[in-house]
Amino acid sequence: GDSVTQMEGPVTLSEEAFLTINCTYTATGYPSLFWYVQYPGEGLQLLLKATKADDKGSNKGFEATYRKETTSFHLEKGSVQVSDSAVYFCALSWKTSYDKVIFGPGTSLSVIP
């Protein structure tokens, strides 16, 4: 069935390090892809999105490119900050049916000073 796979955490980085969180998906059709972030004790917030192949989503220094050929949507940031510590979820939704938004298992990121 349709699914989203993310690299397992937790991920611990030093401040100003480069971040990559891998995400790959399996889906029929042409889904939209998202990264959500969940800060401690809060709900999920949309971080960025891409709706078609080769689109690049970006926000707050984070970027991800929709790669249809590799069915991937990896999240990157050039220099992480302590305030980026959170759980990151990759997700997809379809354009062709009233179906669900499917989430990956989440990757916990801790940034240490």
Partner 1 sequence: DTAVSQTPKYLVTQMGNDKSIKCEQNLGHDTMYWYKQDSKKFLKIMFSYNNKELIINETVPNRFSPKSPDKAHLNLHINSLELGDSAVYFCASSQGPRTGAEAFFGQGTRLTVV
Closer residue to partner 1, CB minimum distance, 42 or 113: 42
Pairing label, strands 32-38, 86-93: antiparallel
Spatial separation of the C-alpha atoms in residues 56 and 51, rounded to whole Å: 9
Q: What is the DSSP letter of 40?
A: T
Quick one: which of 13, 67, 72, 103 contacts partner 1 (CB under 8 A)? 103
Closer residue to partner 1, CB minimum distance, 72 or 94: 94
Quick one: which of 84, 106, 109, 111 contacts partner 1 (CB under 8 A)? 106
Minimum distance, C-beta of residue 79 to partner 1, in the bound complex (Å): 25
Task: Say if CB 51 and CB 4 are below 8 A apart.
Answer: no
